[in-house]
Structure 1
């Protein structure tokens, strides 16, 4: 059996993978082969059989083959069902760099405590609502997750922390945060994403943010609720979780320059335009699915928006 075509993990990450993710390096090729064999035999699936991508699913599922199958199945099922939401359709559009600027999180270079989870810094509400909608921005975020699966071993092994500045979010943005769109994000994270979110921290919270926030909370599991924190404008409560030195330089920290990180993120996306184009061919053929179809209505049956919410 040929050795897997993946990057060797740094020693500290390999130790975590063995102790916490149940990885057995001597079985890695066998585990990947078993996953590929299953995917090939499923008539409706058309999976990208890329070792680096597939090992991210195995590690994210702690090498439970059945859980890995489920995540991989939903990953391609949801991308097939909602291509405009979960997938970059055309990376050659003239405004592609602008979409990346508004939609991608910035991967801060130093993980928490140097060897812990990766910190992903985002600024919600920075896109102009007269030009774009949330559904235009969302595919960038999902594409970035896939790039991280293939390129960032820290994210795959140690997970990630979302650090989100919501100072720019206003009533015009809230209107676009429909329950249906929010449910799509929650369901993808729960059913399809093999990356582990350690926590999510919202700060610089504007007036009125709590109301849509409180509408979202019933949609997530109790375990997820324990990982979500609102910090208002008092950053001392944030620093209790993420010391200030791990913030970007523009926020008084030592963890990267936002302008440089933004430019490198755009460059990464531009360098992967061929990957995004090729990705479009990896979709299910639901006509060939054996057994029952997924219950999409239970996932995406929510309608409405926050248009009627009073934002004081």
Structure 2
């Protein structure tokens, strides 16, 4: 489902992606049926046949793809997705993109995917702040909006292999950083539990000297394999050494015919267009009172992604 906000990889690129994971469209469709049948047999998980709580087949397909076509890993990830929403309702409930606080957040602080994918099929997303003013900055709103964006991509709009993040620190102040520090680990844990994240690269731009310790600290806990994927740039121009200029917005030194502000406006419209779908998502959760004793314990969900200070964050 291609929209003006997200251009999908070409059919030939998608075919190459599937081939890499030893699958095809036909095999993926069959595996989705197998996974839906598995969900029907899990008393604690949402029933994929419940018309009032529609389970998007696209979500299952994307999770399977991100799990490298492993049915068992996909089962764990689906279980995690529907369970973590119970643990952090401040981020996974009241998903109304027309609410004043979320409309305000996307204008001030947001996480937005860029429309054009890379030639490998990766999706580039930007963490962006439009102003240094923190009077209306609410960390929970910013986080909620980020999760809504990733969820819509996964379940409805996008097909991609790995994520590339651009973290624009241009308008970041200590008043942004201070309230975020206590929830960094919780945010990372929740992100990797809820979504099939596979990181390719992280690019930090417009960094101020006072922010350097806040970049260096988490890097010091990461495996070298992960730290080598994080690039701190002296100028926006350096982005073009890693990301094709045709993908980057005009004010990021690129040739994509829109500014980052225009792309954010388009994405805000996309979120509102899916308001009804968003409003149902909070109720599509696991019921742990029905969880079988031999089921994966939700407290162990993060062991393969993060431990302590991000020590097992997976990047491949």
Unaligned residue ranges in structure 1 (runs of 5+): 1-7, 304-312
Are 1:27 and 2:16 matched, yes or no? no
SS in 1 for 2:255: coil
Tell me how far apart the structure 1 counterparts of residues 115 and 298 of structure 2 sit (CA, whole Å): 39
Tell me how far apart the structure 2 counterparts of residues 25 and 207 of structure 1 sit (CA, whole Å): 49
Cα separation, partners in 2 of 1:87 and 1:301, compared to 1, 3 Å: farther
Tell me how far apart the structure 1 counterparts of residues 78 and 223 of structure 2 sit (CA, whole Å): 21
Deviation per CA, 1:291-312, whole angstroms, max 9, x where unpaired?
2743279889989xxxxxxxxx
TM-score (structure 2 length as normaliser): 0.81
Tell me how far apart the structure 2 counterparts of residues 185 and 222 of structure 1 sit (CA, whole Å): 22
SS in 1 for 2:100: coil
Cα separation, partners in 2 of 1:125 and 1:178, compared to 1, 3 Å: farther
SS in 2 for 1:29: helix
Give the corresponding residue for 1:50: 56
How far residue 18 of structure 1 moved from its aligned partner, in angstroms, is 2.2
How far residue 162 of structure 1 moved from its aligned partner, in angstroms, is 0.9
Q: Please, which of 95, 102, 116 is the counterpart of residue 96 of structure 1?
A: 102
Tell me how far apart the structure 2 counterparts of residues 248 and 42 of structure 1 sit (CA, whole Å): 45
User: After the TM superposition, which residues 187-206 of structure 1 pair with which residues of structure 2 at under 5 Å, given as runs?
Assistant: 187-206=189-208
Tell me how far apart the structure 1 counterparts of residues 99 and 34 of structure 2 sit (CA, whole Å): 39
Give the corresponding residue for 1:211: 213
Tell me how large the CA RMSD over aligned residues is: 2.9
Give the corresponding residue for 1:262: 264
Tell me how far apart the structure 2 counterparts of residues 200 and 168 of structure 1 sit (CA, whole Å): 18
Are 1:176 and 2:179 matched, yes or no? yes
Give the corresponding residue for 2:167: 164
Give the corresponding residue for 2:81: 75
SS in 1 for 2:16: helix
Aligned length: 291
How far residue 265 of structure 1 moved from its aligned partner, in angstroms, is 0.8
How far residue 220 of structure 1 moved from its aligned partner, in angstroms, is 4.4
Give the corresponding residue for 1:295: 299
TM-score (structure 1 length as normaliser): 0.82
How far residue 202 of structure 1 moved from its aligned partner, in angstroms, is 0.5
How far residue 247 of structure 1 moved from its aligned partner, in angstroms, is 2.4
SS in 2 for 1:130: coil
Tell me how far apart the structure 2 counterparts of residues 201 and 184 of structure 1 sit (CA, whole Å): 22
Give the corresponding residue for 1:11: 11
Asked whether the 8 Å contact 1:125–1:169 carries over to 2, the reply is no
Cα separation, partners in 2 of 1:147 and 1:12, compared to 1, 3 Å: same
Q: Please, which of 139, 145, 149 is the counterpart of residue 144 of structure 2?
A: 139
How far residue 254 of structure 1 moved from its aligned partner, in angstroms, is 0.9
Give the corresponding residue for 1:5: none
Asked whether the 8 Å contact 2:125–2:163 carries over to 1, the reply is yes
Tell me how far apart the structure 1 counterparts of residues 193 and 144 of structure 2 sit (CA, whole Å): 17
How far residue 235 of structure 1 moved from its aligned partner, in angstroms, is 3.6
Tell me how far apart the structure 2 counterparts of residues 117 and 111 of structure 1 sit (CA, whole Å): 6
Give the corresponding residue for 1:4: none
Are 1:148 and 2:117 matched, yes or no? no
Tell me how far apart the structure 1 counterparts of residues 198 and 301 of structure 2 sit (CA, whole Å): 26
Asked whether the 8 Å contact 1:102–1:137 carries over to 2, the reply is no
Cα separation, partners in 2 of 1:142 and 1:14, compared to 1, 3 Å: same
Cα separation, partners in 2 of 1:126 and 1:67, compared to 1, 3 Å: farther
How far residue 251 of structure 1 moved from its aligned partner, in angstroms, is 2.8
Tell me how far apart the structure 1 counterparts of residues 180 and 300 of structure 2 sit (CA, whole Å): 20
Unaligned residue ranges in structure 2 (runs of 5+): 1-7, 48-53, 310-316
